Amino acid sequence: MTESTAEGFATRAIHAGQAFDPTTGAVVPPIYQSSTFVQDGVGGLRGGYEYGRSGNPTRTSLETVLAALEGGDRAFAFASGLAAEDALLRSALRPGDHLVLGNDVYGGTHRLIQRIHGDWGIRNTAVDLTDLDAVRTALATDGTKLLWIETPSNPLMKISDIAALAELGYAAGALVVVDNTFASPALQQPLALGADVVVHSTTKYLGGHSDVIGGALVLREGELAEKVGFQQFAAGAIAAPMESWLTVRGIKTLDVRLRRHSENAQAIAEALVGHPAVENVYYPGLPTHPGHELAARQMSAFGGMLSVALKGGPDAARRFVESTAVFQLAESLGGVESLIGYPSEMTHASVRGTELEVPANVVRLSVGIEDVRDLLADVEQALERRG
């Protein structure tokens, strides 16, 4: 791994963990669709593989490339982003512990922490991560063991300062976790900025083709990595061979995809600013975005996600998402195809009435890598029809 981190990002994305198959010379490592592995006499394992829950070569190839891309020592691939999060929380926390999280984290993360781990005695405080004093105060709560960061945030694209937050977390003795799903390692490297653990929903940009659900944790060697490995093995929410293989395949084009996603999103954000139907555009690539300078420092491009608040309220927002043609109305994000969503009734329906509630006139766009003029024309015609 040390050897591969010396190579450039795009090279690592294509080659780390992807050595050709020694028995056939197949350039692409196979999908080892096997639940178990023959032993040459009791305990005589070939390559360390024994039973598919404890390890599978296709999963290893995914975990190896993920660690290389995030600059970590170890990666663990799970059946979903939330399964990865759950394994991390159970590895790092004990009943009675307290954690601090952003007040605009992914709704499913909030639900997991509040409703599942809350029931098992984990306390939490949600704060505005751009308010460092508020974070410092929350971290001073008795029993704080973990700080959960997500940037850019969903759906309002707030940018928080990973390096500054990592210092606060470190000073408070808290494990610093960054959900890097929205930026992907192509644009943002939390471990290099001081974080301890990176979390991914690989369902999104890493997979990149809307054909797989998966999650991952990346961290340095050490006690926590051992605990996470044990959780993965003992609780069993592993990434399956086919899913691992699809994710590896997606990762090979991560670098070029994220560049194109970012260019297309920038063009759409700029076209939406000042449009008579638009109240506000939330995109860190706009100089008017409050997190623009920080994002320019912390990320190598601004990514493919943007949100827009419409002047006509909830009705206009709903009409808009139901009027696009290239942008398809669906949950999720990060695929090559453009998607549009209405957070207050879709992705964020579960947080209505909480402090995580999203304004009902906000629409979220996952800008794909189609021809930008088709995307611009689609957004334009849908805005005309918003009513």
Residues at the contact surface with ligand PLP, assessed by CB under 6 A:
80-82, 106, 108-109, 150, 154, 179, 181-182, 201, 203-204, 213, 215
Q: Of 130, 369, 371, give the one whose Cα is nearest residue 255.
A: 369
Please state the closest distance from residue 262 (CB atom) to ligand PLP, in A. Answer: 17
**Tokens of residue 246, six digits:** 């699809």
Smallest gap from residue 55 Cβ to ligand PLP (A) = 21
| Catalytic hit among 12, 59, 74, 204 | 204
Contact 312/360 with Cβ under 8 angstroms?
A: no
Residue placing its CB nearer to ligand PLP in the complex, 85 or 172 = 85
Pick between residue 365 and residue 383 the one whose CB is nearest to ligand PLP.
Answer: 365
Closest distance to ligand PLP from the beta carbon of 228 (Å)? 16
Q: How far is the CB of 80 from ligand PLP (least distance, A)?
A: 3
Least distance to ligand PLP, CB of residue 268, Å: 20
> Cβ closer to ligand PLP: 213 or 316?
213
Calpha distance 216→199 (Å, rounded): 6
Nearer to ligand PLP, 127 or 278 (CB): 127
In the complex, residue closest to ligand PLP by CB = 81
Residue 198 or 309: the one with the smaller Cβ distance to ligand PLP is 198
Task: Respond yes or no on whether the N-terminal peptide bond of residue 155 is cis (omega within 30° of 0).
Answer: yes
- Told to judge if 53 belongs to the known catalytic residues of this protein, a careful annotator would answer yes
283 is catalytic: no
**How would you list the strands of the sheet with 305-310, edge to edge?**
278-282, 305-310, 362-366, 339-341, 328-329
Q: Count the alpha carbons within 13 Å of 148 in the hemisphere toward its beta carbon.
A: 28
Active site residue 179: yes
Catalytic site residue 204?
yes
Count the Cβ atoms, other than its own, within 10 Å of residue 192: 12
- 340: part of which helix (H) or strand (E)? strand 339-341
CB of 71 to ligand PLP, least distance (A): 20
Contacts from 129-133 at CB under 8 Å and sequence distance 24+?
129/102, 129/103, 129/153, 129/158, 129/160, 129/165, 130/158, 130/159, 130/160, 130/161, 130/290, 130/291, 132/161, 132/164, 132/165, 132/168
Separation in Å, CA 341 to CA 198, 274, 306, 328, 363: 26, 21, 11, 8, 6
Give the active site residue among 86, 97, 161, 179: 179
Query: In angstroms, how far is CA 170 from the centroid of its own chain?
Result: 22
Q: What is the rounded end-to-end Cα distance, in angstroms, of the chain?
A: 55
- Provide the b/e sequence for 1-33 (b: ≥16 CB within 10 Å): beebbeeebeebbbebbbeeeeeeeeeebebbe
CB of 110 or CB of 386, closer to ligand PLP: 110
- CB 116 → ligand PLP: shortest distance, Å? 13
Length, in residues, of the chain: 387
Select which of 32, 49, 106, 282 is catalytic: 106
- For ligand PLP, the closer CB: 74 or 348: 348
- Which are the catalytic amino acids? 53, 106, 179, 204
